[in-house]
Amino acid sequence: MSTAAAPAPRSPRTPAGSPVTFGRVLRSEWIKTHTVPSTVILLAVSFAVMVGLGALVAWGLVSLATDEESGPPQGIGQSLQSAAYDVPAAGLPFGQLLIAALAVVLIASEYTTGMIRSTMVAVPTRTPALLAKTLVTAAISFLLGVVAAFTTYFLAQPILSGADLEFGLDAKGVLPSIINTGTVLALIAIMGVGIGALLRNTAGGVVTLVGGLFVLPIIAGLLTGLADWVEDAARFLPSSAASALVATEVQPDQFNQVEGGLILAGWAVVLLAAALIALKKRDI
C-alpha cells in the first residue's frame, strides 16, 4: 500500500465541519442504516412475507366462502366480510418478528462490532445518537408497515372478488388498520432499539423481544384458567395491544385502537427511557 507524502496542509483554525445538530446525527444514522446490506435484505424479506401472508389469508377466505360441497356456511357471510377487512394487516405478526429482530440488530451490532465507539466519539453527549437511531428505525418500520399493508390491500382485491368479498379503502376501519400496521411496527422497533441498547447483545436482545411478543401470550393463555387477573393482565401485553391497534372492529373485552396504541406506546417509551438512562450512566 502506498502512503501519501505529507499531511494535508490545512489551517488548524479552519474547521472541516460544523457543530453537531440532531439533524446531522439523524443523517449519520440514516447512512449507517442503509449502508449495511443486512438491513436492506431484512426489510425486503419483511415486505415479501407480510404481503405474501396477506394474499394467502385472502385466498383462504375465498376458498372458505366458495366451498362447492357445502356452500358458504350459513350466517357466516357477514363475518367473512369482516375477516376480509383484516387482510391488509394480516402479515403483521411476521412483520413484528422481523422488525423486532432488525431493530435489535441495528443497535446491538454497534456494540458487538465496536462501531459504538466511533458513534459515541462523534456524538459524545450520547442521547442524540440513540434517539436518532430510534427515530430512523421507527420511521423505516412505519413505512414498511404502511407500504406492505397497502400493497396487500391492492393485491388482495382481485383475489377477494372471487367471492364478492372485495371492499373499498373507505370500508369500516380499513384505512386506520392499514396505517396502524405501520404504527405497530414503529412501536415494536422502538422497543427493539431499547432492548438492544440495554442488553448490547444481538442474540439476547432478539430472544428477549421475540419472547415478549410471541411467547408471553402463549404462557398467558395457558395460565388463564388459574386466576381471573391473568386474563386482565394479558390484555396489557404488547401482542394484545398490537392486535387491538390494528383491529378493524373492537373485540368484546378488548381495548379499542386508541387504548391499544397507548399501551404499546407505553411499552416503547419505558424501554427507550431505560435505554437512554443506561446509556448515560454506563461506559461505552
Instruction: Give me the residues that bind another protein (CB under 8 A), please.
Output: 1-4, 6-8, 10, 12, 14-20, 24-25, 27-29, 31-32, 35-38, 109-110, 113-115, 117-118, 120-126, 281-284
Which one, 120 or 265, has the nearer CB to another protein?
120
Query: Whole-number minimum distance, CB 196 to another protein, in Å?
Result: 14
Which one, 121 or 226, has the nearer CB to another protein?
121
Which one, 15 or 168, has the nearer CB to another protein?
15
Query: Whole-number minimum distance, CB 22 to another protein, in Å?
Result: 10
Query: Whole-number minimum distance, CB 23 to another protein, in Å?
Result: 9
Which one, 14 or 78, has the nearer CB to another protein?
14
- Give the integer Cα–Cα distance in Å for 18 and 16: 7
| Integer angstrom CA distances of residue 36 from 85, 94, 108 | 36, 22, 14
Which one, 57 or 198, has the nearer CB to another protein?
198
Residues making up the chain, counted from first to last: 284
Assigned C-alpha cell, 34: 442503509
| Integer angstrom CA distances of residue 211 from 29, 44, 145, 206, 249 | 27, 23, 21, 8, 27
Nearest to residue 189, comparing CAs of 41, 36, 33? 33
**Contact indicator for 183, 139 with CB cutoff of 8 Å:** no
How open is the CA angle 95-96-102, to the nearest 5 degrees?
A: 90
Query: Whole-number minimum distance, CB 195 to another protein, in Å?
Result: 20
DSSP state of 3: -
Query: Whole-number minimum distance, CB 186 to another protein, in Å?
Result: 23
Which one, 55 or 279, has the nearer CB to another protein?
279
Dihedral, 126, 132, 134, 140 alpha carbons, nearest 10? -160
Nearest to residue 196, comparing CAs of 86, 79, 115, 91? 115
Assigned C-alpha cell, 131: 434517539
Which one, 28 or 181, has the nearer CB to another protein?
28
Query: Whole-number minimum distance, CB 15 to another protein, in Å?
Result: 5
**In 10 A of CB 277, how many CB atoms?**
12
Query: Whole-number minimum distance, CB 123 to another protein, in Å?
Result: 6
